[in-house]
Amino acid sequence: MTHLGISSTPARHWLLSVLGKKGCLIAYSLIAFGTLEAMIYAYSDVSHTNFMWLQSALGFKISKAIMFFAVVLLVLGTMIRNPTSMVWPDAIDDEYRGVIKITRHPIQWSIVLYTIDHLISNGDKASIVLFGTLDLVALLSGKTRLASHDINYLALGIGTALYAGIYWLHGMVSGGLGLY
């Protein structure tokens, strides 16, 4: 939510001038995590028994595939200079490369896939409100085509390993169902 309210507005430049790069990143991160934590707390405090659709084995299989791409995009997005990020505002002059050729917002698209994944898996009204809200905020579009030499294979490997960890530890970390 803070992405649209800070990093995509003149507030970003004002915060950078007042707090500097590190201070701005710290303030932005605290606001973003605080907002997300409030949403998660509210989500965990409501009933999850009112279903719009029921969970299914096919839905879980589709979710596992979607989540792989979400995790890889997240890692790719964190391992590249991105002019839309609070960390790299000077990257605006960089040539489009890597995942930025597909979208200037790989982390946002990761969130879109993550929310779609959890909407498919859960189906209750509380999940639709939480993940639907995150999905609507994250929907942004890309610019150009990606060539194979643009792929960050290290990030692809890290994303794959992270997905494997999430896959095997999901039940322990989330308190929800295990994925295997």
CA 45 from centre of chain = 23
pLDDT (tens, 9 = 90+) of the chain, 180 residues, equals 566 667 667 777 888 889 888 888 888 888 888 988 888 888 888 888 899 988 888 998 899 899 999 999 999 888 876 666 655 556 556 666 677 777 777 888 898 999 999 999 888 999 999 998 888 877 764 445 556 777 788 988 999 999 888 888 877 766 666 665
CB 135 within 8 A of CB 116: yes
The residues with which 124 forms a beta bridge, in sequence order, are 51
Give the HSE-up count for residue 134: Cα atoms under 13 Å, Cβ half-sphere: 25
Buried b (16+ CB within 10 A) or exposed e, 137-167: bbeeebeeebeeebebeebeebbeeebeebe
For residue 129, the surrounding DSSP H or E stretch is helix 125-138
